[in-house]
Amino acid sequence: MTITNPEGGLTTWLHRASFGLSLIGLATSLYLAWEYARGGAIACPVAGTGCEDVRSSQFSSILGVPVPWLGIAFYVSFAVLEIVRPEFVRHQRMLMYVGLTFAAIGILASGWFTYLEAFVIGAWCFWCLVSAACTVSLFVLAVLLAVIQPQAGDRKSTRLNSSHTVIS
């Protein structure tokens, strides 16, 4: 597979994908937060009443905070990290660890909520699954970025950041 990116190669592509996924997750969380606040029925395109069943469960909020608001905080944090990253060239390694930590926390939370849907609530919320897919994807991207993060003085970093990168 070949990824061509004149703006900076594979790492740039991964960061842009991370930002895009953050926006998709944010839109999903904003929609759910709006529906939670409005109190109307959540449009659940594939699971019938699954979204309503999840929202009406005792697990739809943590310490009084609706779960979609936690999603908003998570996805905004990720998006902001991707926005400010180019401005802090000297701190890329630290920002990579921050992104990896956010992603790990997100995947643990998402795993927990998916477990609750499957084994405790017994209902699937389409929007929650979209958010879970975004979170898993963000985690995979964060791990890939951690693996290929150029080290100071690393000669391989030029290959990773070239305008034409080949992945085998």
71-96 pLDDT tens trace: 999 999 999 999 998 888 788 888 88
Enter the tokens of residue 105: 């926390």
66 has a pLDDT exceeding 90 = yes
Using alpha carbons, select from 105, 36, 26 the residue that is nearest to residue 65.
36
Strand partners, 61: 66
Side chain identity at residue 37, one-letter code: A
109 has a pLDDT exceeding 90 = yes
119-157 pLDDT tens trace: 999 999 999 999 999 999 999 999 998 898 765 334 444
5-56 pLDDT tens trace: 344 588 889 999 999 999 999 999 999 999 999 988 898 887 678 899 999 9
Mean residue pLDDT across the chain: 85
Q: For residue 5, what pLDDT is reported?
A: 39
Residues across the chain: 168
DSSP run (H or E) holding 43: none
CA atoms of 34 and 113, how far apart (whole Å): 19
